Amino acid sequence: MRPLNEASPPSDPVLVAAFRSGEDAAATELVRRHAAALGRYLYGVGADPSDLEDLVQETFFKAFRALPGWRGEATFRSWLFRIGANLRKDWFRKDGRRVVLSLEDQDLADSSDPEGEAGATEMEKKLREGLGRLPRLQREVFLLRAQQGLEYEEICAALGTTPGAARVHYHHAVKRLKELMQ
Amino acid sequence: MIDAHLNSERLVEVAQGLARWSPEEAAHLERCAECRLEWNLVRAARTLGHDRAERVDTARIAATVTRRLEAPVTSPGVLSRHARWALGVAAAAVLALAVFSARGGTPSAATPSDARIAVLHELDGLTAAELEVVLETIPPAANEAIHVESAAIGDLSASDLERMLQSME
């Protein structure tokens, strides 16, 4: 692998290969590169803001542990999103110590962080509430497309669907969100 | 002048900064409430969670993840011999409970509650981490089977029966 401080940054597959050959710096670079996007995505799929850092950390941990299973059909980032979304789902389902609240049921204002929530725009609150009312695939496709800007080919590789189905999910998500936000 | 609504894909492209509105598109957006709503939606999605993600400490995450990766692995594949043996016993006991529940019968050597106690004894020697791995490995369907153990099969609802049958497959 080229040194990480060279002008042209190494691609994700190069970093993954470096990590697999024992370079911890490659893992650090992958975290630095993708953590913020992953955090935004997890927040979008309904993660509690107070869990966000733990979820991001756990997602990377699981991803690095599972790297032998990553064959590069999906980009590293979309693969991370898939692991993160599944983890977020299990996080609520399995941990009995947590209060399980779906976005449909909860007041979206986060009582643990009133100042932060107050800073969120009204549109963002409505959007998050609307996303909580969508079926999972519609929500994830919408976020991967509109929030993350992924192409449909990447989305279908991440979610295990087809580009056509992903487009349909996106269309339905937009239609439903528009209804909810009117 | 554009009469039709703006294309959804075009909205995403512009929101992502990959394209710019043409004068005609900008004019349409100005007067079409439907397109403006979708435009606002896509723009809100683009920035959703931005301030939250900014607070995530990537350096700390990277350090913690690499430290955890260097720690000894605790997974079903590398459990101690004792843990693997206990896992086998636990799985067999859960399966036995499900089968006896389905038949509405009682184990000849032990009642279901005895069997459950026996399972707990087998798990006594495990560390907390090993115990957690064992518990995670038992499928949810098997856990549900335990809940129907005290019900006679005739007392089960159709959905309970369906669930129980699925747990046995």
ipTM: 0.79
Taking CB atoms and an 8 Å cut-off, how many pairs form between chains A and B? 118
* CA–CA distance, A148 with A131 (Å, rounded to integer): 15
- Token pair 């996007």 in the structure block, residue: A37
CB contact under 8 A, A36 and B53: yes
At B57 the three-state DSSP class reads: coil
CB contact under 8 A, A121 and B44: yes
**Minimum distance, in Å, between the CA of residue A135 and any CA atom of chain B:** 17
| pLDDT on residue A71 | 76
pLDDT at B71 over 50: yes
Q: What is the pLDDT of residues A119-171, one digit of tens each?
A: 457 888 899 999 999 999 999 999 999 999 999 999 998 888 899 999 999 99
Neighbours of A147 (CB within 10 A): 27
CB contact under 8 A, A124 and B12: no
pLDDT at A81 over 70: yes
| pLDDT on residue A97 | 40
Among A181, A74, A73, which residue's Cα sits nearest to residue A122? A181
A56 confidence band (pLDDT: 50, 70, 90): very high
Closest in B38, B59, B65 to A64, CB measured:
B65
pLDDT at B120 over 60: no
Assigned token pair, B168: 């046995």
B164 confidence band (pLDDT: 50, 70, 90): low
Task: Please list every residue in chain A whose beta carbon sits closer than 8 Å to the beta carbon of residue B61.
Answer: 31, 35, 53, 56-57, 60
> Which residues between 1 and 40 in chain B have a beta carbon less than 8 angstroms from any beta carbon of chain A?
8, 12, 15-16, 18, 34, 37-38, 40
Q: Of A65-79, A123-137, B150-164, where does mean pLDDT reach its minimum?
A: B150-164
Quick one: average pLDDT of B109-123? 47
**Minimum distance, in Å, between the CA of residue A26 and any CA atom of chain B:** 10
| pLDDT on residue B112 | 46
Length of chain A: 182
Assigned token pair, B54: 């900014």
| pLDDT on residue A73 | 77
| pLDDT on residue B169 | 47
Q: CA dist B16 to A21, A145, B105, B114, Å?
A: 35, 10, 63, 62
pLDDT at A80 over 90: yes
